[in-house]
């Protein structure tokens, strides 16, 4: 057996989880075409990341074999991981800079949601404009969704550091004219955060198109929103996302 075929066997369950998350991202329209990637920290010095292979077909068709072990500098972390023509994302520093700075972060999602990009360019910020419609999304937006104001390819540590500074301690940052970065303890949570931001951005665009004004949910209503817990907000929501894939 060659190193190329052997490499994907290690950590197969984790590779499959990242691959399915990539497909959810694409199915939701947040990563159309061949752009976007997801990473998962495995050790202090290793991560799994969605790489581009010789038969690249886009995120919607990601397989476990597209998810590869690399180190924080983009080198193969295990034997054979980048054999066969696999390459790390140009924007790998976007992932690794956040992992270096924040030990609590294990998963990073980078996507290009058209609605988020359009809303930001239209001057519409992601705000807690809904209530029980999306409780986790409302809570996320209430803390603010910062914007990295440069529409660049985040391809080196200097640019990644700028993005990380803009992001601060928030879980999601909008990249102007580019997309979003979402970070969390799990791949599932990072993707669900991105979906919520996309949903809120889409609503903001619809409200503006109808001539309305986006107003934050009143504090009294915000205080009434319950925390439904991780088993509902993440586990049940994620089962739904996987079921949508068919």
Mean pLDDT, rounded, of the chain = 94
Select the CATH number that applies to the domain covering 3-244 from these four: 3.40.225.10, 1.10.10.10, 3.80.30.20, 3.30.565.60: 3.40.225.10
pLDDT band at residue 7 using 50, 70 and 90 as cut-offs: low
pLDDT at 1 over 60: no
> pTM value?
0.94
- Give the mean model confidence (pLDDT) for residues 210-238: 93
pLDDT at 46: 97
pLDDT digits (tens, 9 = 90+) for 36-50: 999 999 999 999 999
Q: Are residues 60 and 27 in contact, defined by beta-carbon separation less than 8 angstroms?
A: yes
HSE-CB at 180 with a 13 A cutoff on CA atoms is: 31
59: left (phi over 0), alpha (psi -120 to 50) or beta: alpha
For residue range 57-114, what is the model confidence (pLDDT) as tens digits? 999 999 999 999 999 999 999 999 999 999 999 999 999 999 999 999 999 999 999 9
Domain ranges for the chain, please list them: 3-244
pLDDT 10s digits, 136-185: 999 999 999 999 999 999 999 999 999 999 999 999 999 999 999 999 99
Question: What SS3 class is residue 200?
Answer: helix
Beta carbons within 8 Å of 173's beta carbon, 6+ residues apart = 145, 146, 147, 148, 163, 166, 167, 180, 181
Q: Annotated catalytic sites, by residue?
A: 91
Residue with the larger pLDDT of the pair 232 and 195: 195
Q: Which SS3 state, helix, strand or coil, does residue 50 take?
A: strand
pLDDT of residue 4 exceeding 90, the answer is no
pLDDT of residue 60: 97
Neighbour-count burial for 104-137, b at 16+ CB within 10 Å, e otherwise: ebbbbbbbbbebbbebbeeebbbbbbbeeebbbb
């Amino acid at each position: 057996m060659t190193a190329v075929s052997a490499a994907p066997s290690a950590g197969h369950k984790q590779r499959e989880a990242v691959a399915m998350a990539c497909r959810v991202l694409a199915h939701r329209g947040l990563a159309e075409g061949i752009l976007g990637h997801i990473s998962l920290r495995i050790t202090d010095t290793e991560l799994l990341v969605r790489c581009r292979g010789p038969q690249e077909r886009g995120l919607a068709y990601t397989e476990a074999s597209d998810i590869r072990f690399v180190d924080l500098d983009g080198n193969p972390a295990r034997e054979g991981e980048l054999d066969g023509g696999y390459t790390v994302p140009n924007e790998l520093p976007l992932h690794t800079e956040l992992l270096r700075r924040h030990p609590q972060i294990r998963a990073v999602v980078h996507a290009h949601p058209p609605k988020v990009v359009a809303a930001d360019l239209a001057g519409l910020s992601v705000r807690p404009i809904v209530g029980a419609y999306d409780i986790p999304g409302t809570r996320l937006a209430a803390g603010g969704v910062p914007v990295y104001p440069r529409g660049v390819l985040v391809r080196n540590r200097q640019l990644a550091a700028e993005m990380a500074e803009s992001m601060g301690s928030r879980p999601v940052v909008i990249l102007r004219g580019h997309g979003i970065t979402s970070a969390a303890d799990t791949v599932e949570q990072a993707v669900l955060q991105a979906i919520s931001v996309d949903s809120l951005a889409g609503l903001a665009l619809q409200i503006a198109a109808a001539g309305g004004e986006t107003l934050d949910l009143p504090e009294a209503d915000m205080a009434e929103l319950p925390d439904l817990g991780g088993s509902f907000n993440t586990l049940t929501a994620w089962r739904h996302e996987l079921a949508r894939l068919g």
